[in-house]
Structure 1
Amino acid sequence: MGGGRLLSSFWGRSLGVLRAGCRVGQAQRPRLTSWAVCSNSQLIWTLQSKPWVFDEYRTMWFKSCRMTFLSLNRMKSYWQLWTRLYSTSQTTVDSNEVKTFLAMAHKWWDEEGMFAPLHSMNDLRVPFIRDNLLKTVANHHPGKPLSGMKILDVGCGGGLLTEPLGRLGASVFGIDPVDENIKTAQHHKAFDPVLDKRIEYRVCSLEEIVEETEETFDAVIASEVVEHVADLETFIQCCRQVLKPTGSLFITTINKTQLSYALGIVFAEQIAGIVPKGTHTWEKFVSPEKLESILESNGLSVQTVAGMLYNPFSGYWHWNENTSLNYAAHAVKSMVPDHSGPAEVVFKGETEEPQAEVSTIPGVHGELKK
Structure 2
Amino acid sequence: MNSTTNHAHTNTTFNNADFDEIGKFTRLADEWWDRQGAFKSLHDINPLRLDWIEDQTYAFFGSKLNGKKVLDVGCGGGILSHSMAVRGADVLGVDLGAENLQAGQIHAKRTGMTDSLAFRCVAIEELAKEQAGTFDVVTCMEMLEHVPDPSAIVRACFELLKPNGVFVASTINRNPKSYLFAIVGAEYVLRLVDKGTHDFHKFITPAELDSMAVGAGFGRFDMTGLHYNPITKRFWLSNANVDVNYMMSFTKGEKP
Tell whether the structures are fold-level matches, with TM greater than 0.5.
yes
Which residue of the partner structure matches residue 152 of structure 2? Answer: 234
> Is the alpha carbon distance of 1:137 and 1:294 closer, same or farther for their aligned partners in structure 2, counting shifts above 3 Å?
closer
**C-alpha distance in structure 1 between counterparts of 2:13 and 2:81, whole Å:** 26
**Is there any run of 5+ residues in structure 2 with no aligned partner, and where?**
1-9
Say which of 293, 314, 327 aligns to 2:232. 314
Letter of the 1:251 partner, please give it. A
> Is the alpha carbon distance of 1:198 and 1:137 closer, same or farther for their aligned partners in structure 2, counting shifts above 3 Å?
same
Say which of 106, 115, 120 aligns to 1:187. 106
Mapped contact 1:219–1:248 kept (Cα < 8 A) = yes
List, as ranges, runs of 4+ consecutive aligned residues in structure 1 with deviation greater than 4 Å: none
Does 2:137 align with 1:219? yes
What's the secondary structure of 2:246's corresponding residue?
Answer: strand
Letter of the 1:118 partner, please give it. L
Larger radius of gyration: 1
Which residue of the partner structure matches residue 327 of structure 1? Answer: 246
Which residue of the partner structure matches residue 65 of structure 1? Answer: none
Letter of the 2:207 partner, please give it. E
Mapped contact 2:13–2:126 kept (Cα < 8 A) = no
> Is the alpha carbon distance of 1:323 and 1:136 closer, same or farther for their aligned partners in structure 2, counting shifts above 3 Å?
closer
Letter of the 1:244 partner, please give it. K
What's the secondary structure of 1:286's corresponding residue?
Answer: coil
Does 2:90 align with 1:166? no
Alpha-carbon distance, 1:94 to partner: 1.0
**C-alpha distance in structure 2 between counterparts of 1:272 and 1:137, whole Å:** 39
Letter of the 2:175 partner, please give it. T
What's the secondary structure of 1:227's corresponding residue?
Answer: helix
Mapped contact 1:121–1:316 kept (Cα < 8 A) = no
Letter of the 2:27 partner, please give it. A
Does 2:169 align with 1:251? yes
Which residue of the partner structure matches residue 261 of structure 1? Answer: 179
State the TM-score, normalized to the length of structure 1: 0.63
Letter of the 1:165 partner, please give it. M
- The count of corresponding residues between Structure 1 and Structure 2 is 246
**C-alpha distance in structure 2 between counterparts of 1:271 and 1:137, whole Å:** 42
1:201-220 matches, within 5 Å, as 201-220=119-138
Alpha-carbon distance, 1:311 to partner: 2.5
Which residue of the partner structure matches residue 23 of structure 1? Answer: none
What's the secondary structure of 1:323's corresponding residue?
Answer: coil
What's the secondary structure of 1:190's corresponding residue?
Answer: helix
Does 2:215 align with 1:297? yes
What's the secondary structure of 1:197's corresponding residue?
Answer: coil
**C-alpha distance in structure 2 between counterparts of 1:137 and 1:293, whole Å:** 24
Aligned identity (percent) is: 35
What's the secondary structure of 1:235's corresponding residue?
Answer: helix
Mapped contact 1:123–1:317 kept (Cα < 8 A) = no
**C-alpha distance in structure 1 between counterparts of 2:89 and 2:13, whole Å:** 31
Alpha-carbon distance, 1:273 to partner: 2.0
Letter of the 2:25 partner, please give it. F
The superposition leaves residues 25-54 of structure 1 with CA deviations (integer Å, 9 ceiling, x where unpaired) of: xxxxxxxxxxxxxxxxxxxxxxxxxxxxxx
Say which of 192, 195, 198 aligns to 1:274. 192
Does 2:108 align with 1:196? no
Letter of the 2:67 partner, please give it. G
Which residue of the partner structure matches residue 74 of structure 1? Answer: none
**Is there any run of 5+ residues in structure 1 with no aligned partner, and where?**
1-83, 335-343, 349-370
State the TM-score, normalized to the length of structure 2: 0.90
Structure with the larger RCO, 1 or 2 (CA within 8 Å, 6+ apart): 2
The superposition leaves residues 233-256 of structure 1 with CA deviations (integer Å, 9 ceiling, x where unpaired) of: 111110100011111110111100
Alpha-carbon distance, 1:267 to partner: 2.0
Alpha-carbon distance, 1:88 to partner: 4.4
Q: Which has the higher strand share?
A: 2
Q: State the Cα RMSD in Å.
A: 1.8
**C-alpha distance in structure 1 between counterparts of 2:105 and 2:137, whole Å:** 21
Which residue of the partner structure matches residue 28 of structure 2? Answer: 104
Mapped contact 2:13–2:123 kept (Cα < 8 A) = no
> Is the alpha carbon distance of 1:168 and 1:280 closer, same or farther for their aligned partners in structure 2, counting shifts above 3 Å?
same
Alpha-carbon distance, 1:104 to partner: 1.0
Which residue of the partner structure matches residue 93 of structure 1? Answer: 17
More moved, 147-156 vs 271-280: 271-280
Letter of the 1:283 partner, please give it. H
Does 2:44 align with 1:120? yes
